[in-house]
Structures are given as C-alpha cells and as structure tokens.
Structure 1
Amino acid sequence: MRKLLLVILVLAFLAGGCQTPARDFEQVSSQEKVILKFSHVVGDNTPKGRAARRWAQLVQERSRGRVEIQVFPNSTLYKDGEELAAVQKGYVQIIAPATSKLTEFSPVWQLLDLPFYYEDIDAVHRLLDGPVGEKLKQSLFARNLLVLAYWDNGFKVMAANRPLVKVSDFRDLNFRIMNSPMLAKQFRRLGANPVAMAFSDVYSALEKGQVEGSENPPSNLYSKKFYQLQKYITLSNHGYVGYAVVVNKSQWEALDQKIRQLLLDTLQEVTIWERQEAFKQNLEDLERIRRAQGTKIIELTPEQRKEWQRILMPLREELAQEIGEDWF
C-alpha cells in the first residue's frame, strides 16, 4: 500500500508540475519532519537570497532537522507575477515579494513606493516596525496572507542607455517597473513610458531593446548583470525597495506553536542581519560596478535633485486622496 501511495503521489506531482497541493500541516505528528518551500525571484548572492539561506540553515540546526525550509531562488518555481497566487493556494508556504507587488491587494502598500519621501533607511524601519507596519500586515489578512517580517533591498538608482540628469532626459524612454500604480505614475510624470515586467524577464528585455531603463538598488544591478547592458547609472536614491516575508496564513496557523515560535525567533534574528547586510552589499556592489568601468556613474547636484523632487512630490497628495490622510 505504501508503494502504491508513493506511485500515486509521484504521478500527481508530474501531472501538476510545480503546483503541488498544499500540505495539511494539521496532520503532522510531533515527530514528523516539516518541509516549507520558500520561493523567491532574485539570486542567492543578493541580500534576500542570502537571508533566505541563512534562515533555512539556522532553523534546520535549531530544530535538529525536524523543520526544513527549502529555498528556490531565481524564479525557479514561480515568477514574481505568479508567486502571490502560489502562496495563497498553498503550492509554496513562504515568499518574499517586493512590497510593490502587494499593491494589487491593497493600495495602502503604495506608501512604500513614494519617491523622495523617506529621508534614510532608518526612517523606513521606524515606519515598518511600528503601527503603520502592523496596519499594512492587517490589510492582507482577508487574502489568506500573513507578513512575518520586513527585509531591505535598499534605495533605488536609475539606469539607462543615456544619461539621466534633467527630467527632460526621461522623455519617451521605456522603463521597466514592478506592477505598482505609484511606480507607473512616477515614470509618467517624468515623461517616460512605464513597462510592468517580471524581474526574471528584465535582462532579456534590456538586451533586445524592449526596455531602455530600469530602477534598482545596486545589488540587483550587479547580481543580475543589468549594468552590463546600461551605460549610465544615476545615483538618485529616489525610492525604497523592500520585501515582505509572507506565508500562507491558514497553513502557518496550522503549524505546531513551538515550530512557529522557532521560525519567528530565528526570523527576527535574521531580519536584523539582513538589513545590515543589504546596506553593506549595496555599497560594495556599487563599487564593483565602478571598477568594471563599462558604466558611467552620475551623481546629481542639489539643484538637479530638486528638479526631480519638484516633479514627483505631488504624488504624495494624490495617494493621500486615494487611501486617506490618516495614513500620513
């Protein structure tokens, strides 16, 4: 019977591809191994990729092998346009999408996409680790999603095949963006054409000329080699990119309480480490791009930066009308 059951499970897996049914964690005995699939879209050598591996390693060690987090990087299982649906359906248990992706469920997540709104990374952390971060989490409960932590990528720079100094330099450029209304409005105000696209498709699109610009923290530009296809990088630091570590809410609540506590305690520790490493890695990867000498690095003067801000700051008032002034 066991062999027959194994054959049936294998056939079911092959028929459904990666979209395996959700495991019923309520049926896991106190001695049975718990396996959690963690799907993400960036490389192992990025801040998110390294943190995912670190969390998995520590959990396995501290649970003495009873709990295993299997990490699937680089869109191995799902593209960033697919992973939210995958975790909702229980095909994977953990994802860490950019917060911009969560705007499709609630417009309040556009707060984190506002350009030139956050003074520094500490300001972002105060927001996410306080009452606003809790309210953002609550906005996803009805979608069967639970945010466990907020991870950093960093502040974005602009990369393109021509220098971006004045606002007029953006005119008619096709810019890859994540699928967020705020990001689309940002580039339209700059005069560019926003093109929403999965992260895994960006290199090919740049190579083929389907898009001519992108906004990313330096760690993404370096790890995915986007800088090799874009001759100019402007150090605008105009917007924040972060990740929400998200689980399937019902599957999470079905886990044994001790396992949940182990995962949370370890994740809290890893989050502190990840934020420090993200800041450090962006500095190091920007220096690596400089040394490669194939890309010109542009620094905005205070006057040039004010011109960008003048065009983009009204987006704050537009968002306030949409989600309510109370959020601000």
Structure 2
Amino acid sequence: MIDRARIWLLIFMAVVFITTGCDRRGPDGEQVDPREKIVIKFSHVVAEDTPKGQAARRFARLVQERTGGRVEVQVFPNSVLYKDGEEMDALQQGAVQIIAPTTSKLSCLAPQWQLLDLPYLFENEEQVHQALDGEIGKKLFATLEPHNIHPLAFWDNGFKQMTNSKRPLVHPRDFAGLTFRVMINSQVLEEQFRSLGANATQMPFSDVYGALSRNQVDGQENTMSNIYSQRFYQVQPYMTVSNHGYMGYVVLTNATFWRSLPPDIREIIEKTLAEVTWWEREQAARLNDKNFRQIKESGKVHVHIQTEGERAEWQAALEPLYQKFRPIIGAELLDEAFRLKGSPAAGS
C-alpha cells in the first residue's frame, strides 16, 4: 500500500506538469518560472511582410532572446485582434500592451499629430528623421502622456502614392468627381482630397481592398509596400508616383503597464526598439523599392511618375491647407518643420 507521503508527492508532480506544460524552457535552454513570465501582446493592422510586420517579428524575437524567455512578445498582424478604430481603445484599456498605428490616427488624441499629414511637408526620409528624432518628435510624444500612453519609437512606412480605377492622375483637375479612401481621424487628409476636387471617405485599413474591388471607392493613397502586400495594385489600374505625403508609425505602449515593468526589462525593451528602429527604416526603403519594381513588372498598372512641373501644380492646389490647419496644429510645430526643410513657413 502506497503511503500518504508518496500520494501527495505524485499529486504535486501532476499539478506542476499540468500548470507548466511539457516544456517551459527559455530560448537558451534555461527553465523559466511561469509566475515571472511577462506576456506582451503587440497588435497591428498590416501584413507580416511589410516593414512594420517584419520589424514587429524581429523585435519579438530579440526581446525573448535578451530576456532569457522572461518576456514573450506575441505579435498579431493584419487586424486579427483589432481594427484601426479599435486598437487605441484596446491599448488604453490594457487589452493589448503595444500597438504601432500610423501617425494620422493619433490626431483623435492630439490634433498636433496632423502636422505629419500635410502634403509635401517633407522632401525625403532624411528630413523626416531629423524632425521625428528631434524637437518635433519630443513635442509630439509629450501630447500622448496625458492619455495613459507611453510612446516608444517612430517607424517608417515611406512616402505615399496615389492609385485609382478611373484614369491617370497627372494634374489636379484629374481628381474631379473621384472618391478616395482616407485613414480615420485625420481632417488634413480629407481636406487634401477636397482641395484637389475629389471626395474623401474614412475607412479602416482592413476594409480597403474589399471597397476597391467592389468599386465602393475609386482610389486610395498608400506606400508601395502596402499597395503591393494588400494587392491594391490588382484592382487599381492607375498609379501616380507622387511622394506627396509621408506615412509613418508610432510604437506605443500602455503607460500603466510600462511603469509596472521591472527596470531591467524596460531597459532591454528600449535598447532593442532603438536597434530595431534603425533596421526597420532601412528595410522600409528597400522593400518599397522592391515592391515598386514588382508592381511595374505585374503589367496590371499604368504607372505615371510625377514631373517637377506637375509637383508644383499639386503643391499650389494644396497650399491653402497650411493656412487652414496652422492654428489647429500649432504655429511652433509648423515653423520648426519648415526650418528643418530650409524654406519659409507656409500659411504664416
């Protein structure tokens, strides 16, 4: 007859096996105490093979390696958890711990973020990075802290191009009567299309392909990597390479959650994000170039590359936006952006 001590030992071993699973070792083979493990849900709305998708996976892998398995970052791409209009609430409520929305979507919290939606504000990625890694970025970050949001990094997507199903977009008059999807929360983007004579309708990113394929909207603006990965080019026969606006992401975490992390974990996450940010920016540039070639080679799209003269026409049509949004965005931010650009402030 088995004595009572052995019975209790067998019960204890069974409970340990059930609660810890078959193998709870970290990536380095060391045992990880499940009670100490930190799980971070990272939700985003684009495909895994985009710059953001690849960077999120790289960040997750490096954090798990560098914390010896104490931190597990679970990445949920393609709106599988939350759509554009849902992820901000999910972050603030603690349902997810990290998101990386486009800068446009932050204007619902602070109108200053619409600065980055202004067309032709930046001429290249170098100007963008000078702004976001400098005083402009610091001032924009500061607007989020009152909302229980702690910003961590700026990631690139790239410059946007115009696509549509009706005709080539060469001159501003070519936009007349067309309807374009725009990202949620940005008045600047809506006014951008109205200034060109088109209509604008807000729509979550996950709904765009369906709307384009069913002709519910005529066109959209996006980076090459999104146009390719979301197959927009298959249902949009016209594309103008205009580089008219920058699209970037802000990696955000819940501030309460961030403060609850041990200092050593916060340090690892910050250092890893800084490293991944530089990698992501390089990857975004390479991937946009590669996807542009693939779009052209598909034979499905008539590609028009904007000339300097045409760019000047579009800029003239869109110039009133600077004056209209100057008091909303703030003269200080707008003037700083133009100082970096090396040109007089528009709308002053």
**In 1, Cα distance between equivalents of 2:260 and 2:313:** 52
**Contact persistence 2:113–2:329 (CA under 8 A):** no
Q: Check if 1:54 corresponds to 2:86.
A: no
Which one of the candidate residues 99, 104, 110 is aligned to 1:95? 99
Instruction: Output aligned runs, 1:166-245, within 5 Å.
Output: 166-179=171-184, 180-245=186-251
2:345 aligns with none
- What SS does structure 1 have at the residue aligned with 2:267? helix
Q: Which residue of 2 aligns with 1:86?
A: 90
Instruction: Work out whether residues 38 and 92 of structure 1, in 8 Å CA contact, stay in contact via their aligned partners in 2.
Output: yes
- TM-score, normalisation: structure 1: 0.90
1:87 and 1:248 in contact (8 A); partners too: yes
Match for residue 340 of structure 2? none
Structure 2: how far apart are the matches of 1:173 and 1:260? 48
Q: Quick one: distance in 1 between partners of 2:328 and 2:65?
A: 46
Q: Distance in 2 between matches of 1:172 and 1:298?
A: 20
Once the 2 structures are TM-superposed, how far is the Cα of residue 215 of structure 1 from its aligned partner? 0.2
The match for 1:307 among 313, 325, 338 is 313
Whether the 8 Å contact between 2:183 and 2:203 is mirrored in structure 1 is: yes
Q: CA deviation at 1:213?
A: 0.4
Corresponding position of 1:138: 142
CA distance in 2, matches of 1:31, 1:122: 44
- 1:81 is paired with a residue whose SS is helix
Q: Distance in 1 between matches of 2:180 and 2:66?
A: 44
1:246 equivalent in structure 2: 252
Aligned equivalents of 2:304 and 2:259: distance in 1? 48
Q: Which residue of 1 aligns with 2:5?
A: none
8 Å CA contact 1:39–1:94 kept in 2: the answer is yes
Which deviates the most, 249-258 or 295-304? 295-304
Number of residue pairs aligned between Structure 1 and Structure 2: 303
Letter paired with 2:52: K
Alignment TM-score, normalising by the size of structure 2: 0.85
Q: Is the 8 A contact 2:115 2:329 kept in 1?
A: no
* Displacement after TM superposition at 1:30 (Å): 10
Structure index of larger Rg? 2
The answer to whether the Cα contact below 8 Å between 1:234 and 1:297 also exists between their aligned partners in 2 is yes
Q: Provide the residue aligned with 1:108 in structure 2.
A: 112
CA deviations 1:83-126 (Å, max 9, x no partner) are: 00000000000000000000111110011001011011110100
> CA offset at residue 321 of structure 1?
2.2
Report the residue type matching 2:249 in the other structure: Y
Secondary structure of 2:201's aligned partner: strand
Map of 2:292 onto structure 1: 286
For 1:302, give the aligned amino acid: E
Map 1:157-168; keep pairs closer than 5 Å: 157-161=161-165, 162-168=167-173
CA distance in structure 2 between the aligned counterparts of 1:313 and 1:275, rounded to whole angstroms: 29
The 2-side partners of 1:128 and 1:111 are apart by 11
Cα distance, 1:207 vs. partner? Answer: 0.9
> What letter matches 1:51 in structure 2?
A
Once residues 251 and 85 of structure 1 are traced to their aligned partners in structure 2, the CA distance between those partners, rounded to angstroms, is 14
2:241 and 2:201 map into 1 onto residues whose CA distance is 21
Per-residue CA deviations over 1:14-71 (Å, capped at 9, x if unaligned) read xxxxxxxxxxxxxxx9961000000000000000000000000001111111101000
Question: How far, CA to CA, are the matches of 1:189 and 1:257 in structure 2?
Answer: 49
User: Aligned-pair distance for 1:166?
Assistant: 1.1
Query: What do residues 108-167 of structure 1 show as CA deviations (whole Å, max 9, x unaligned)?
Result: 001100101101111010000011101101101111111100000000000001211111
Secondary structure, in 3 states, of the residue corresponding to 2:36?
A: coil
- The one-letter code of the counterpart of 2:244 is H
Could you tell me which amino acid in structure 1 is paired with residue 191 of structure 2? K
Residue 314 (structure 1) shift = 2.2
Displacement of 1:203: 0.5
The SS at the match of 2:85 is coil
The gaps in structure 1 that reach 5 residues or longer are 4-28
3-state SS in 1 of match to 2:119: coil
- Give the residue type in structure 2 aligned to 1:168: R
Counterpart position of 1:262 = 268
CA-based RMSD: 1.6
Aligned residue for 1:82, secondary structure, equals helix
Identity of aligned residues (%): 52
- From 263, 280, 283, the equivalent of 1:274 is 280
